[in-house]
Amino acid sequence: MRLVFAGTPEVAVPALDALIASDRHEVVAVVTRPDAPAGRGRKLVASPVAERAEEAGIEVLKPAKPRDEDFLARLREIAPDCCPVVAYGALLPKAALDIPAKGWVNLHFSLLPAWRGAAPVQHAVLAGDEVTGASTFQIETGLDSGPVFGVLTEEVRATDTSGDLLTRLAFAGSGLLVATMDGIEDGTLQAVPQPAEGVTLAPKIEVEDAKVDWAAPALRVDRVIRGCAPAPGAWTVFRGERLKLMSAVPAVDHAELGLAPGELAVTKKAVHVGTGSHPVELIWVQPQGKKPMKAADWARGVRIEGGERLGDSA
């Protein structure tokens, strides 16, 4: 099939690579979000998908909005058979959905109908799911509600951050997407409607959602830190300034410390924080305006005093 691939971030690149490598299909163009400012200089930078497509000599389309008539006209000229999508980042209007004969097919990183929305992997970690996966489905005008072509499952490991899990799903899912294109092309694959039961939503995780509540149990604190890594990044407040929490582990064997929620206990090699249950040990932190550092190095630098706490009261 002639394919137009739609995607934007790094997580979409493995699927683009897999489709380019396929000997049954041709990626004739790529649709991605417009160049965006990045870095300290805030210079405009092309998306990872745009960069990869340009390296491969593939036409790149960057509509400000996918309903723009110039974009729709070009898509009609290209006349793709199907448009596979991975994390494109914009809603597709019906005018665009109607152009390819076999529609638009999304690779979504959850077992639909669970975790429909922008942040399925983060919500799976936050919820403590033991198993998640990826699904390919036909895009409709509803939110991730179209019929499903195929799925794969992936274990959520106890130490997984959202970034760890998403990386594994991106590579495993690339094979699922190619297999879905193969099945659509040869007519052996039929999409199955999603069940009405089991629908959960996964909206974007905002910065305020990533604030750690030290009165919550250690298990919840651990999930928030892992689920918000690498973005937007879990955080708390220390001495009136924001402190980003890069990684931590529950410290079950240190329950005898008797720390109040948010209270700090520092040794030469470790930094423990009280929660609503047992303490957690901070591993990596990032003070405001500084680079990430080991929590023990941070604690030595700020000279934490007895009884000091993390949180709004700090």
Annotation: binding site for (6S)-5,6,7,8-tetrahydrofolate: 110-113
3-state secondary structure of 64: coil
Q: Where are the beta strands (DSSP E) in the chain?
A: 2-7, 26-31, 36-38, 43-45, 59-61, 83-86, 104-108, 131-138, 148-155, 234-238, 241-250, 264-266, 271-273, 280-287, 293-294
Q: Are 273 and 262 in contact (CB under 8 A)?
A: yes
Torsion over CA: 285, 286, 291, 296 (sign): negative
Phi, psi of 207 (to 5 degrees): -55, -40
Phi-psi region of 289 (alpha: psi -120 to 50; beta: other; left: phi over 0): left
What is the C-alpha separation between 98 and 75, in angstroms, rounded? 11
Helix, strand, coil: what percent of the chain each, to 5? 30, 25, 45
Cα within 13 Å of Cα(155), Cβ side:
3
What is the C-alpha separation between 236 and 64, in angstroms, rounded? 36
3-state secondary structure of 162: helix
Q: What is the DSSP letter of 233?
A: -
Strand partners, 116: 201
Binding-site residues: 110-113
